[in-house]
Structure 1
Amino acid sequence: MSTSTSGITEYTRDGLTFDVTDRGDPSAPAVLLLHGFPEDRQSWAAVADRLVDAGLRTLAPDQRGYSPRARPDEPYPQAYALTELADDALALLDAAGVDRVHLVGHDWGGALAWMLAGAHPDRVATLTVLSTPHPAALRRAATSTPWQLAHSSYMLFFQMPRLPERVLLRRLEGLLRSSGMPRAEAERYAGRMREPGALTGALGWYRAMRHSRGAVHRSRVPTTLVWGRHDGFLGRQAAESTGAMVLADYRFVEVDEGHWLPERQPDLCAAEIAARVAGTV
């Protein structure tokens, strides 16, 4: 696998500095990889290996709340609204000299990717989302299916002040492993969340949910959703109804897997991303 790096290692926006891994030929088609909770840019390492070997450029940032120099305190939690997170991603494209990008997101990064594809189709060439149904489909499922409501209840808990930090600092590694994340990654992510301010920054995405309602529209670009039928957080109804939220070519891929697709299935993820980029799906 290729280990080459190129281009930028960080960028700034509104006084915040974000760490980035920029790999591959700077002139190649660019793929922006947006991680979820409680992951970071390293969650994409194995996927990026394969994409770079396929002739693509990959940009993987530690996003707002995850980069140590990009953890705003005020105003909070509005500072973590999807519109702010989207502007962070667009600023990265500008810093990297990318006009239009092939966009990929997982978990919360998937929700942000849906937002970008709907609101900024001029900057997004294609969209591949791993695990995360369209937010509107997920909201409908949460109000109509007991399974999704029960399995989304942790999102409400995370919006409470202080208590989630106390609980998760003790239990996060075990919770990740019990949900199917490989042990090494669970240990590393839990360790990073113990850095000062890291967990509160990551939870800012949940605590800003009420400031992000209505921000996500239908995707207007060619789109693929890859969903694991054993996902313990995001259920079938939301996944299967996501196609109605895409106003372009759409592909739904159901796999025999759980939630943590970038870590557990890098070959599959890279193949679906590369196929969407090439327009061969």
Structure 2
Amino acid sequence: MTDNSSAPRVSSTKRLEPLRHVDAGVLDIAYFEAGPADGPAVMLMHGFPFDIHSYVDVAPMLAAQGCRVIVPYLRGYGPTAFRDKATPRSGEQAAVGADLIALMDALGIKRAVVAGYDWGGRAASIGAALWPERCIGLVCTNGYMIQDIAHAMVPARPDHEVALWYQYYFQLERGRAGLAANRRGIARILWSQWSPSWAFDDACFERTAIAFDNPDYVDVVIHSYRHRFGLADGDPQYAEVQRRLAALPVITVPTISLDGADDGVTPARDGSASAAKYTARRAHRVIPGAGHNLPQEAPEAFAAAVMELVKG
């Protein structure tokens, strides 16, 4: 772990606003948009426990280079809301992947570079794997992100298991109650553990933490972490998508995968372990000085990867 006690504190009051809203599938999605409406589209998807401000620097960089940039709040975060109170508050991978395509449909976007990390990287990877005709290319972190739920109970190395404590905690009703009572406290611990060289301050954290006040946040998060271990049923409307994902499909679009060298939850790798899952041009890069929240910690590197795919 890197000692960041003497690093300059990362603070910003800059916000991605104003927000727009659109009905997209089961959600009313709140999103930020920048850049020319006729520019090449880029979908930037955030992770857990973060929000759209992971892209507070990346989005304007891409917009300045002529891209139409869309940064949505995922289900359960910020002002994004379920349109029907009866819809299951699922956080399963099939749901977040389907949400990405539903948003593109609602905005009339035929093709885009899809990019993300953590949950957002999984959504982007699912879009690229199952709907390749909609994807110009993929930028994602931590390699092949589609979950192998059938083998989810196979243990990892003990040192890797330790970093996943929150996932095991969320399997318990005590964990659900803990998340409900301590949304900010848990998130702040995870930020510090996952990005040990990122010296964010209170203002930087609180700008994002407001997104956890969404009334569906706890249900979506808990379902996500229980479903990925095969310990919660999925929403039936995504059963066919999940069936296709269970086959661990290859990704056939150009891809740039990124790892933060200081990632405290998913250790950086050389990309070789997942190479067979990419059948088009693929590059893998390890970004020094960055942890898990890579687009906010290393915006230039993330934006450069997106633009490389935009330009072909």
- Alignment TM class, shorter chain as reference: 0.7 to 0.9
**Structure 1 CA distance for aligned equivalents of residues 152 and 277 of structure 2:** 12
Residues 24-173 of structure 1 mapped to structure 2, 5 A cutoff = 24-71=35-82, 74=86, 76=88, 79-131=90-142, 133-135=144-146, 143-161=155-173, 162-165=176-179, 166-173=181-188
Deviation string, structure 1 residues 87-143 (Cα, Å, up to 9, x no partner): 221121112211111110111111121111111111111000134543358978974
Q: Is the 8 A contact 1:155 1:206 kept in 2?
A: yes
Q: Does 1:187 align with 2:243?
A: no
Cα shift at 1:5: 8.4
Cα shift at 1:176: 1.9
Residues 228-243 of structure 1 mapped to structure 2, 5 A cutoff = 228-236=260-268, 239-243=271-275
Letter in 1 for 2:278: V
Q: Identify the range of structure 1 (208-217 vs 122-131) with the bigger mean alpha-carbon deviation.
A: 208-217
Secondary structure of the residue aligned to 2:36 is coil
Residues 257-276 of structure 1 mapped to structure 2, 5 A cutoff = 257-276=290-309
Name the count of aligned residue pairs. Answer: 275
Q: Is the 8 A contact 1:33 1:61 kept in 2?
A: yes
Q: Residue 10 of structure 2 aligns with which residue? A: none
Q: Residue 225 of structure 2 aligns with which residue? A: 206
Secondary structure of the residue aligned to 1:135 is coil
Q: Residue 253 of structure 1 aligns with which residue? A: 285
Letter in 1 for 2:177: L
**Structure 2 CA distance for aligned equivalents of residues 83 and 158 of structure 1:** 20
Letter in 1 for 2:254: P
**Structure 1 CA distance for aligned equivalents of residues 253 and 178 of structure 2:** 37
**Structure 2 CA distance for aligned equivalents of residues 144 and 129 of structure 1:** 22
Cα shift at 1:236: 3.8
Secondary structure of the residue aligned to 1:253 is strand
Q: Residue 176 of structure 1 aligns with which residue? A: 191
Q: Is the 8 A contact 1:17 1:67 kept in 2?
A: no
Q: Residue 224 of structure 1 aligns with which residue? A: 256
Cα shift at 1:251: 0.2
Q: TM-score, normalised by structure 2?
A: 0.77
Q: 1:68 to 1:136 in 2, by over 3 A?
A: closer
**Structure 1 CA distance for aligned equivalents of residues 30 and 22 of structure 2:** 7
Letter in 1 for 2:208: Y
Cα shift at 1:206: 2.2
Q: Is the 8 A contact 1:4 1:24 kept in 2?
A: no
**Structure 2 CA distance for aligned equivalents of residues 277 and 153 of structure 1:** 38
**Structure 1 CA distance for aligned equivalents of residues 186 and 56 of structure 2:** 25
Q: Is the 8 A contact 2:40 2:67 kept in 1?
A: yes
**Structure 2 CA distance for aligned equivalents of residues 136 and 197 of structure 1:** 23
Q: TM-score, normalised by structure 1?
A: 0.84
Structure 1 gap ranges (5+): none
Q: Identify the range of structure 1 (93-102 vs 208-217) with the bigger mean alpha-carbon deviation.
A: 208-217
Letter in 2 for 1:276: L
**Aligned-residue RMSD, C-alpha:** 3.1
Q: Identify the range of structure 1 (197-206 vs 61-70) with the bigger mean alpha-carbon deviation.
A: 197-206
Cα shift at 1:67: 4.1
Cα shift at 1:168: 3.9
Q: Is the 8 A contact 2:43 2:113 kept in 1?
A: yes
Which has the larger helix fraction?
1
Q: Residue 16 of structure 1 aligns with which residue? A: 27
Secondary structure of the residue aligned to 2:44 is strand
Secondary structure of the residue aligned to 1:113 is helix
